[in-house]
């Protein structure tokens, strides 16, 4: 009986020794591919990896980092754990090898394929896979159940608690941007013209048309920046460029506070300003209300396009920060609408008070000066964060 048991065990271990290598050979080699939407090199490599996946027994794990905060965080974790200086995407990892960027199939593609062959033959350690598995374990341990992920508010609806900091950031940047003196001088002159009218209905219509059109132009401007950054994706040089622009705009804002004691707009000279005043006077004096409204809308478009030269800094910086967040595309534009509402608060306040009291009310120049200083300081801080600590600006 004992001999039979020994024979069975010997046969079992022999079979196990034969099946073991076969099972090992059936294990697929993992490729980890980090990419961003709108990155042309990423698109080129994705086609290459699709063909490579058909050729070898491998599995390509794809991680899109512009729409996923978790994937962007994972990329930073890999960079930290493996001491990889990641300056952008695509990043491709196979076994113990990694590749940053993708030139073409004949250069980078050959190197990736050689790494795949090496991994298939030698079963080298899966370094990135180990980091990903450890990251998943850590996230489960650190998960905090005390704070709910979402809360329901009356009228507002469901809000994610992790996004609270982004609305506050939007509010502060838009409020500072709204006190731009270049956005106020035309409205103040328009109000002085409207207050001389006897027809109150005409006053409200022309003033409202100017403000609504101004907000719409600024929304288009913000949307253009947003779509540009969404198209470019998580590209290292874009973030660096915007960071440098933010630093430059911050220094300019602080300099403007020190040099320009009056707090006025330096972009539009006196001659151009007089031409705009004359056009506005002619439009308000037109007998036809429809012609006056059409003229006011066209003038608002033209004036706000001129003012965009003075207001380009904060919108560009804000939309760059906005694209670093993990949000559905529709929510980006809701934040832009919220930005416009806060941005227009000072204009709306001045307009409504003037129309109700029939007295012109303006924002004093000292407030415009201080807004330059605050805006400059904010842009300096944001610029430094974009350059050295972009993860601090990845809200939500």
| pLDDT, tens digit (0-9, with 9 covering 90-100), for 156-198 | 455 554 555 788 888 888 888 877 666 566 677 777 777 777 7
Give the pLDDT band (50/70/90) at residue 141.
Answer: very low
Cβ distance 238 to 87 under 8 Å? no
Distance in angstroms (rounded) separating the CA atoms of residues 163 and 168: 9
Q: Which of 96-105, 120-129, 133-142, 182-191 is predicted least confidently?
A: 133-142
Q: Tell me the average pLDDT across 278-286.
A: 75
Domain ranges of the chain: 27-133, 162-393
Domain range 27-133, CATH architecture:
3-Layer(aba) Sandwich (3.40)
Per the confidence metrics, is the pTM higher than 0.85?
no
In whole angstroms, give the CA distance from residue 330 to residue 208.
27
Q: Are 252 and 243 in contact (CB under 8 A)?
A: no
Check: CB of residue 217 under 8 Å from CB of residue 300: yes
- Cα–Cα nearest to 318, from 343, 294, 301: 343
* Burial (0-12, 13-18, 19+ Cβ within 10 Å), 190: buried
Task: Say if CB 79 and CB 234 are below 8 A apart.
Answer: no
């Amino acid at each position: 009986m004992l001999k039979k048991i020994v024979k069975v065990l010997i046969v079992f271990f022999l079979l196990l020794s034969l099946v073991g290598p076969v099972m090992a050979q059936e294990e697929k080699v993992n490729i980890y591919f980090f990419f961003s939407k709108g990155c042309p090199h990423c698109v080129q490599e994705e086609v290459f990896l699709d063909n490579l996946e058909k050729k070898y027994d491998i599995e390509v794990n794809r991680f899109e980092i512009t729409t996923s905060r978790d994937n962007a965080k994972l990329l930073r974790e890999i960079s930290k754990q493996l001491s990889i200086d990641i300056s952008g995407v695509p990043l491709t990892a196979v076994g113990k090898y990694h590749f940053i960027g993708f030139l073409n199939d004949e250069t980078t593609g050959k190197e990736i394929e050689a790494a795949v062959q090496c991994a298939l033959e030698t079963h080298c350690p899966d370094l990135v896979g180990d980091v990903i598995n450890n990251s998943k374990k850590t996230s489960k341990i650190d998960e905090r159940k005390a704070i709910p992920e979402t809360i329901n508010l009356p009228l507002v609806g469901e809000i994610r608690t992790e996004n609270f900091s982004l609305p506050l950031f939007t509010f502060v940047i838009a409020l500072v941007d709204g006190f731009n003196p270049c956005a106020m001088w035309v409205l103040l002159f328009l109000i002085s013209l409207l207050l001389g009218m006897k027809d109150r209905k005409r006053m409200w219509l022309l003033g409202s048309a100017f403000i609504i059109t101004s907000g719409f132009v600024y929304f288009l401007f913000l949307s253009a920046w947003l779509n540009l950054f969404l198209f470019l994706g998580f590209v290292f040089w874009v973030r660096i460029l915007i960071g440098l622009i933010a630093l430059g705009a911050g220094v300019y804002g602080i300099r403007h506070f020190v040099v320009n004691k009056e707090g006025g707009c330096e972009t539009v000279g006196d001659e151009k300003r007089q031409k705009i005043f004359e056009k506005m006077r002619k439009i308000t004096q037109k007998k036809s209300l429809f012609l006056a409204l059409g003229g006011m809308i066209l003038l608002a478009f033209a004036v706000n396009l001129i003012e965009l030269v003075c207001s380009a800094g904060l919108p560009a910086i804000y939309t760059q920060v906005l694209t670093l967040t993990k949000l559905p595309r529709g929510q980006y534009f809701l934040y832009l609408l919220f930005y416009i509402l806060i941005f227009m608060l000072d204009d709306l306040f001045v307009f409504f008070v003037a129309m109700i009291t029939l007295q012109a009310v303006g924002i004093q120049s000292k407030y415009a000066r201080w807004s330059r200083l605050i805006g400059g300081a904010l842009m300096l801080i944001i610029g430094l964060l974009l350059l050295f600590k972009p993860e601090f600006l990845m809200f939500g």
